């Protein structure tokens, strides 16, 4: 057993030594390959660092909402006799839109008028009676002074006069009561004629939805139609915490929609929610958009661009030139004489989808825009010929240096 253990140890030692020798050879060959690879020039594309203006623009999506929306509904129960509007119809404040069956309410008005007439007749009767009672009281008081009428007769005449005075007050109060009853009946009758409620807004109002048909039995507050004010529309977007501090009321926004490709609409930020929702970490932002030509409709999906900042005459490079090495972001600057590149870490300013602003250090010349994934600091490169380089710069020049302004459409507002 002892001899077997010694043999096993010798075999394992031999395997370990052989493995280490193989690892050393592979490692040396890999290092040699890397050195060889570093010495191989890499074909790249380049672009010049140039002075330009650059914009920081936020892109958002949202939906259109009417400036105001309300439901037209009856205040009383009844059968819908007439419905005078349909979806898409324009309406005005105070316009009649529906009529309920009003026979019962009309009859209540007639009854209230009759009761008021009876109360007024009763008042006239009481006035006549009190005049007689007053004259009788005055006559009895004069007779009492002459010792013709007794004291009890005077008391009876005075009591009757005061009684008639009280009855006159009751009759007068009944007049006020019957007038109020008539007024209430007339108001209920007016509720049978349903109109667009008046408001301070004088916008363009349309019927958005129709909920019932003629002949339907309606309870109080049953929706009949919805009225939308679409003279102006509200775009609602939701902004994450990173962009929230950049948005201010009064900022201009450019709105586009798939319904009108190529066209843009101008709006302005009017309200910003003071809180971010805990679940989504987003804040509601409202943008007012004029809709004079009535192209935009509530419910449309829209895209919104809001410009946060703009820097003029700054150093910019194509976004494709940015690269990370050893945890630092920078660019590979071309040394055209030695045909080599240097990696320079940079501090970025505004970055949009096309270009990036370089705050520091100040860099001039050309930077690598394609092929930098194969480069390290000090690598040799193969530059494109002058003709193709100029062609590449020409293509790059087609980009909008202001950050992709999408307002080249008809500019409807």
Distance CA 73, CA 196 (A): 10
C-beta of residue 311 within 8 angstroms of C-beta of residue 357: yes
Burial zone of 74 (CB within 10 Å; 0-12 exposed, 13-18 middle, 19+ buried): buried
> Of the candidates 208, 214, 260, which has an alpha carbon nearest to the alpha carbon of residue 70?
208
Report which secondary-structure segment, H or E, holds 84: none
How many residues belong to the chain? 413
- The dihedral over CA atoms of 317, 323, 328, 331, expressed in degrees to the nearest 10, equals -40
Place of tokens 């660092």: 49
Place of tokens 């976004």: 319
CA angle 188, 190, 194 (to 5 degrees): 115
In order along its 413 residues, the chain shows pLDDT tens digits of 556 677 767 777 767 776 766 766 666 555 544 454 556 888 999 999 999 999 989 999 999 999 999 999 999 999 999 999 999 999 998 899 999 998 888 999 999 999 999 988 888 888 888 888 888 878 887 877 877 777 888 778 788 878 888 888 888 888 899 999 999 999 999 999 999 986 655 678 999 999 999 999 999 999 999 999 999 999 999 999 999 999 999 999 999 999 999 999 999 999 999 999 999 999 999 999 999 889 999 999 999 999 998 899 999 999 999 999 988 999 999 998 888 999 999 999 998 888 999 999 999 899 999 998 898 988 999 987 654 444 444 333 333 333 333 333 344 44
pLDDT of residue 396: 37
Burial zone of 170 (CB within 10 Å; 0-12 exposed, 13-18 middle, 19+ buried): exposed
End-to-end CA distance of the chain: 98
Distance CA 8, CA 2 (A): 10
pLDDT of residue 398: 35
pLDDT of residue 29: 55
Instruction: Answer left, alpha or beta for residue 326, where phi above 0 means left and psi between -120 and 50 means alpha.
Output: left
Give the CA count within 13 Å in the CB-facing half-sphere of 16: 6
Distance CA 196, CA 198 (A): 6
C-beta of residue 72 within 8 angstroms of C-beta of residue 224: yes
Place of tokens 């860099």: 363
């Amino acid at each position: 057993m002892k001899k077997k253990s010694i043999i096993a140890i010798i075999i394992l030692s031999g395997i370990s030594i052989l493995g280490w020798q193989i690892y050393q050879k592979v490692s040396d060959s890999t290092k040699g390959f890397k050195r060889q690879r570093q010495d191989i020039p890499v074909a790249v594309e380049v672009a010049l660092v140039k002075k330009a203006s650059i914009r920081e623009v936020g892109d958002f999506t949202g939906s259109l909402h009417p400036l105001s929306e309300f439901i037209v509904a009856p205040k009383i129960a009844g059968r819908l006799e007439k419905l005078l509007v349909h979806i898409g119809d324009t309406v005005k404040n105070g316009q009649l839109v529906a009529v309920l069956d009003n026979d019962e309410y009309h009859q209540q008005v007639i009854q209230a008028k009759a009761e008021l007439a009876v109360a007024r007749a009763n008042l006239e009767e009481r006035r006549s009676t009190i005049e007689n009672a007053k004259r009788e009281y005055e006559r009895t008081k004069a007779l009492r002074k002459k010792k013709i009428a007794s004291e009890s007769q005077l008391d009876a005449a005075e009591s009757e006069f005061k009684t008639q005075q009280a009855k006159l007050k009751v009759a007068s109060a009944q007049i006020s009561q019957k007038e109020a009853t008539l007024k209430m009946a007339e108001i209920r009758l007016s509720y049978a004629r349903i109109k667009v409620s008046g408001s301070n807004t004088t916008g363009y109002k349309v019927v958005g939805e129709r909920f019932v048909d003629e002949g339907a039995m309606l309870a109080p507050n049953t929706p009949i139609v919805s009225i939308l004010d679409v003279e102006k529309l509200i775009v609602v977007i939701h902004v994450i915490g990173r962009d929230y501090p950049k948005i201010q009321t009064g900022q201009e926004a450019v709105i586009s929609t798939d319904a009108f490709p190529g066209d843009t609409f101008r709006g302005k930020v009017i309200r910003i929610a003071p809180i971010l929702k805990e679940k989504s970490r987003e804040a509601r932002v409202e943008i007012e958009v004029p809709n004079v030509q009535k192209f935009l409709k509530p419910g449309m999906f829209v895209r919104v661009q809001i410009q946060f900042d703009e820097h003029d005459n700054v150093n910019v490079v194509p976004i494709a030139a940015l690269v990370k090495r050893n945890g630092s972001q920078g660019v590979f600057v071309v040394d055209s004489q030695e045909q080599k590149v240097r990696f320079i870490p940079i501090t970025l300013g505004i970055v949009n989808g096309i270009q990036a602003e370089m705050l520091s250090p100040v860099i001039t010349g050309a930077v690598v825009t394609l092929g930098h994934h194969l480069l390290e600091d000090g690598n040799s490169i193969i530059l494109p010929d002058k003709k193709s380089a100029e062609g590449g710069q020409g293509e790059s020049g087609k980009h909008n240096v202001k950050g992709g302004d999408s307002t080249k459409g008809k500019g409807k507002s």
